Structure 1
Amino acid sequence: MKIVFIGASSLAIATAQQLLRADHEVIIIENDKTVIDRLMPEIDCVFLHGNGSKPAILKETDPESIAVLFCLTKSDEANIIASLVARSLGVKRVITRIEDPEFEHICVGLGLTDTIVPTLTNARYLANIAAGHNILELSAIFRGNIKLFNFIASASEAGPVNELDLPKHTRVIFAYRNDQFLPLDSDSKIEPADELVLVSTADDYEKLQGKWGNGKAQN
């Protein structure tokens, strides 16, 4: 599987190293040549020097063959632009890093629904630790081929949860409405713009992706 990173951040390098250990093909695009020169002896992957938001640079990676492209530069704006360019070139899945949560809804509006907000995620995690809560990693809870999938409900999905057309092994577990957590059961009502969180299997995930695009799938 070919994975491409735009921006050689510490997050990108740590993720790339794990992917390389799993025998995936990794390409890192970095605009700073001194960063590439420093990293090349440390990580055995392909480096491309250039601006990852430029179509000419992305075309060197054969975009249609990329399984996942991570946009992990320090600039939210650069990550959003690079994500849009990558989508236009046929990249199957694009993950966009943003630091400012206000950009999240903009990303959704642009069709960039696979977003990560590391600072906000880490802040919530640390706040829970400080409050004495026992935090379990998802990897410790989910076994086998279980995945989470998020998508934003449209008007066509509005109505009772039990009327939502889902694959056999998929269930809605909760939602976010106006950024507020909302537990759901089979009789709960879905409203347009609700962000629904589903638990599913790897096989059903492909069906979900076919129905709702990339959504925000998570292992």
Structure 2
Amino acid sequence: MRTVFIGAGQVSIETAKALVEKSHEVIIVENDKTKIDELSDDMDCSFLLGDGSRPDILREVNPEHTDILFCLTDSDQSNVIASLVGRSLGFKRIVTSIRDKQFAGICHELGLTDTIIPSRTISRYLVDMVGGSKNVELSTVLKDEARFFMFIAEEEDAVVVNELKLPVDARVVCYYREGKFAHANEDTALRVGDEIVILTHSKSLNELEKRWQPKLQKENPSE
């Protein structure tokens, strides 16, 4: 698998190192030459000096041959812009990191479905720890070919779960309505705006992604 990271922050570095150890191809785009010089001695991956939100820079990493673009700089605005530029250039999948929660709604409106909020993930973990519960690492649950897929329900998805016509190896396991968690079964009535979580076999991810790909994505005017 080929991955590109925009921003050489700690998350990018640790993730990149883990991917390299698993023999994945990794490229890190960073606009600080000093940082690249420091990291290049310890990391067996490629580096590209430049602003990762610029189209000319992202074209250099061959979007059509990249599996995932991670936008992980310290700037929410830069990450959003880089994600939109990456989408226009044809990257297959884009992950956008944001720190300010008010950007979450904007990312949704822009069709940036793979948005992560690190502070929210950490805070939930700590709250559970204080509550005395034993947290289960996701990696210990998703073994073999099991995968999670999430999408936000549009008008055509506001149906009973068993009417979604999912692949045979996919099941809706839960959903979030106005930020509140709830279990789901075949008779659960979904509403517009619900965040739906599906447990599926990895072979069905492509079908699910094609069905619920960002509807706001437009054709590249240059094509």
CA apart distance, 1:159: 1.7
Gaps of 5+ in 1: none
Residues in 2 aligned to 1:156 and 1:214: alpha-carbon distance in whole angstroms: 14
CA displacement 1:181-207 (0-9 Å, x = unmatched): 122121111001111000000111121
Kept in 2, the 8 Å contact 1:161–1:189? The answer is yes
Tell me the SS of whatever aligns to 1:189. Answer: coil
The equivalent of 2:123 in structure 1 is: 123
Residues in 1 aligned to 2:24 and 2:206: alpha-carbon distance in whole angstroms: 21
CA apart distance, 1:142: 2.4
Residues in 2 aligned to 1:139 and 1:59: alpha-carbon distance in whole angstroms: 33
Aligned-pair Cα RMSD in Å:
1.2
Kept in 2, the 8 Å contact 1:93–1:214? The answer is no
Deviates more, 1:67-76 or 1:173-182: 173-182
Identity rate, percent: 46
The equivalent of 2:219 in structure 1 is: none
Residues in 2 aligned to 1:169 and 1:213: alpha-carbon distance in whole angstroms: 19
The equivalent of 1:197 in structure 2 is: 197
The equivalent of 1:73 in structure 2 is: 73
CA displacement 1:130-165 (0-9 Å, x = unmatched): 111111112212221000000011111112111111
CA apart distance, 1:214: 7.2
Give the TM-score normalised by structure 2.
0.94
Gap change, CA 1:59 and 1:107, over 3 Å in 2: same
Kept in 1, the 8 Å contact 2:157–2:192? The answer is yes
Gap change, CA 1:2 and 1:142, over 3 Å in 2: closer
The equivalent of 1:5 in structure 2 is: 5
Where does structure 1 differ by over 2 angstroms across 4 or more consecutive aligned residues? none
Gaps of 5+ in 2: 216-223
Residues in 2 aligned to 1:195 and 1:139: alpha-carbon distance in whole angstroms: 21
Residues in 1 aligned to 2:168 and 2:74: alpha-carbon distance in whole angstroms: 41
The equivalent of 2:156 in structure 1 is: 156
Q: Which amino acid aligns with 1:36?
A: I
Say whether residues 1:101 and 2:113 are aligned partners: no
Say whether residues 1:143 and 2:138 are aligned partners: no
Q: Which amino acid aligns with 2:9?
A: S
Number of residue pairs aligned between Structure 1 and Structure 2: 215
Residues in 2 aligned to 1:53 and 1:141: alpha-carbon distance in whole angstroms: 35
Tell me the SS of whatever aligns to 1:185. Answer: coil
Q: Which amino acid aligns with 1:91?
A: F
Give the TM-score normalised by structure 1.
0.95
Kept in 2, the 8 Å contact 1:114–1:214? The answer is no
The equivalent of 2:91 in structure 1 is: 91
